[in-house]
């Protein structure tokens, strides 16, 4: 998300508010709005949120992204690294 915020800041500085930025560049500071990836995922795509919740058996991942990491690591372990034949890259 930080990459997106940085890109958005650059668009504002050089396209949308270019004239204002030339006069007051110090007024432009890159800030994120605090939306975390887990909250974005939970509220922007309800069917995917439901699939993840059903898979994990809990909605706790919405407030604890590490629960998704553990699940992702388990999934990657189950299918292999993708480097060998039959790994996830062959899907």
Model confidence pLDDT, tens digit, residues 75-89: 665 555 555 555 444
> Which residues, at least 6 apart from 6, have a Cβ–Cβ distance to it below 8 Å?
30
Please tell me the pTM assigned to this model.
0.43
The total number of structural domains that make up the chain: 1
Domain residue limits at 62 = 2-27+36-90
Give CA–CA dist 40/35, Å, rounded.
6
Residues in the chain: 91
Give 66-76 pLDDT, tens digit per residue: 777 776 666 66
Express each pLDDT in 5-56 by its tens digit.
Answer: 677 788 888 999 999 999 999 988 776 665 667 777 788 888 888 888 888 8
């Amino acid at each position: 998300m930080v990459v997106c915020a940085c890109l958005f800041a650059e668009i504002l500085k050089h396209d949308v508010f270019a004239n204002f930025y030339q006069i007051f560049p110090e007024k432009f500071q890159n800030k994120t709005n605090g939306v975390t990836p887990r909250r974005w995922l939970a509220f922007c795509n309800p069917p995917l949120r439901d699939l993840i919740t059903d898979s994990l058996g809990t909605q706790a991942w919405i407030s604890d992204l590490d629960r998704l990491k553990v699940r992702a690591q388990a999934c990657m372990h189950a299918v292999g690294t993708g480097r060998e034949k039959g790994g996830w890259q062959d899907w």
